[in-house]
Every structure is written in structure tokens, then in C-alpha cells.
Structure 1
């Protein structure tokens, strides 16, 4: 409850929460629309919605497995793993939206050979993602990792166009590329 001396922080927090909720719903609507469009064009579509997405900058854990780590439910794990093992996914795109505090992403990986599309939706705090954005800009690479809550790694994609993931204000510099996985 705000007090007489409150500077409006509670109201700003409530406004951010409402805006973030609307942006997340718009992201989920975008996933449905993308999936329907691909399915109409004859693609098999696997959609996973992360219950949690965490940015892992290169400095974390002394590993090169940096990127966005999407934690998915058991019900999404099997369809994702089956589709992931079946394809190569040389094409991808990233659809993103931002609010003042959050980054909302849909990463679409495509395997034209099997006509399979994997759509991964997630959201992360922008403050938490800035170190990852700088790492991706420095290396010219970005990674998407998908795992279950118990830590089972289901698959990873490598992306050569990291600027697709982050607003320019969050990343520092740009690089370019085209491949996925």
C-alpha cells in the first residue's frame, strides 16, 4: 500500500505489470497466428511456451553455452525433442516486443527439408538480458537452449544474427549472419 511519502513507485509497478501482462498475451497470440500460418502452408508446427526464460551470458558458469535458456513443461518436452531430432533447422527468425522492463520473444526455427517449424516463446527481464546482449554482440552468435525443469537438455540452436534478439539499446554493437543450429 503506498504511503503519503511514496513517489508513485507502486503505481509505476502496477502499470508495468499490466503492460507486461498485455504484451505476454500478445506474444502468445502471435505464436498461435504464426503456427496457424505455417500449418496452412503445409508445415508441421511444434510450439513450446517457456514457463521461465533465463539469459545466460558467457561469463556465467565459465561456459560457451550462453544464450536464452527456455524451461518447458513435460508436455512440451516430447514433441519438441522429436521435432528437434528430426530436422536441421538452417533457417530462423525472431519476433520480439519490448516493454520498459521486459523482452518478449518468439524464436521460429525452420527445417525446409522436413517442413517442420519449431516456435519457442519466452519472456525475460531486460535488465537481466543486457549482459547476454553484449556477449552476443561481441561474439556475433546467439544460442537458444530448451530444457525441462529437472535440467534435461532437449536441444540448442545457434544463431548468427544476434541483433534479431535484442533492442539496439540493450546490445551495444551489431553483427550479422544467417544460420541456425
Structure 2
């Protein structure tokens, strides 16, 4: 397949090269450090890896959902389901950076009363996230959905502060 025939998404991922790889590795290291720090402070921490995170807008698919769709492999899906309580987790923190429009993020869902946290390292391409960002601005919140590979929604968390999770594509 010639370069012109190659999928634009694949071309974009390949163009990120080493910067993408190094930033992802640093994100994973920092997520582990965060887990260790919380556990040293006697928090119950669940580490959940997102195999893939998409920016989804209302005009995609046969639904009106929008937000970040975190796909959890089965081994992490069970952990998430056991730990997540939509009524208990009411705060969040975001740590990360943007590299060429791709967000590299550690999302921490927090239940401060029970001293529990769910730590989710993820990355997603904001160059395809304009519809999601617009819907979030209209609704006043950006949902994060956590789902299995086969599409089962395990939980939803609404981020009332949108800015830490999105960045303009050229930032």
C-alpha cells in the first residue's frame, strides 16, 4: 500500500513516533507513582488500564452519547466494576499533557469520604474531538464512559470541569 493509500489515522499515529511512545511510557510511570502515593496514605486504589479511549460526539453511531469512551480489557473491567460506585465517586483529578493534539492523561476518580480512588491512564486524539467538546460545553459536563470490549457500559462519570480533559487540536 502506498503512503497516499494508507489510512489517515494510521499515518497520523506513525507521524507521532518517538514523542508519542515516550510520553505514553511517562504517563504509565506517573500513574504507578500516583497509585503508590495514594496507597502510602492508606487509600484503597484501583488501577485500571484503558486499552483504547475515543472522543465520541452525538453524531457518531446510532446513539446520542458523547464523551470519552474508555474501553477496558476484561481483566481490568472486573476490577473497575468491583470498585466503581457512581454515588461514591464524586470528584476527579486529571494529570497529563498534550502532544500534537493527542492527550496523554491520568484520570483519577475520587471518593474522598471512603478514601478510595480509581486511577486510569489513557490517551486520546483531540484532533477528532471537536463534536465532543462542543456537546460538553452545551451540556455543562463531559461524560467518561467505561465499557468492555464488546460494548457493555460498566459506568459513567460526569466531569463538570471540561478544560483539563480537552485541548485544542493545535495546542
Calculate the TM-score normalised by the size of structure 2. 0.84
Q: Which residue of the partner structure matches residue 161 of structure 1?
A: 161
Runs of 4+ with >2 A deviation? 12-15, 58-65
Post-superposition Cα deviations, 1:107-134, rounded to whole Å, max 9, x if no partner, equal: 1111122211011121112212232122
Consecutive unaligned residues of structure 2, counting only runs of 5 or more, are 4-11
- The structure whose Rg is larger is 1
* Matched residue count: 160
**Which stretch of structure 1 is more off in the superposition, 38-47 or 50-59?**
50-59
Deviation at 1:137, TM superposition (A): 2.3
Task: Give the whole-Å Cα distance in 1 for the aligned partners of 2:37 and 2:134.
Answer: 33
Contact 2:69 2:147 in 1 (8 A): yes
Provide the rounded CA distance (Å) in 2 between the counterparts of 1:120 and 1:66: 19
* Structure 1: gaps of 5 or more residues: 4-11, 171-181
Alignment of 1:165-180 (within 5 A): 165-167=165-167, 169-170=168-169
Deviation for aligned residue 1:14: 5.7
- Alpha carbons of 1:77 and 1:13: their partners in 2 closer, same or farther (altered >3 Å)? closer
RMSD: 2.3
Matches within 5 A, 1:62-73: 63-73=63-73
Cα 1:68–1:86 change in 2 (3 A) is closer
**What is the TM-score of this pair, normalised by structure 1?**
0.79
Distance 1:16 1:50, change over 3 A: same
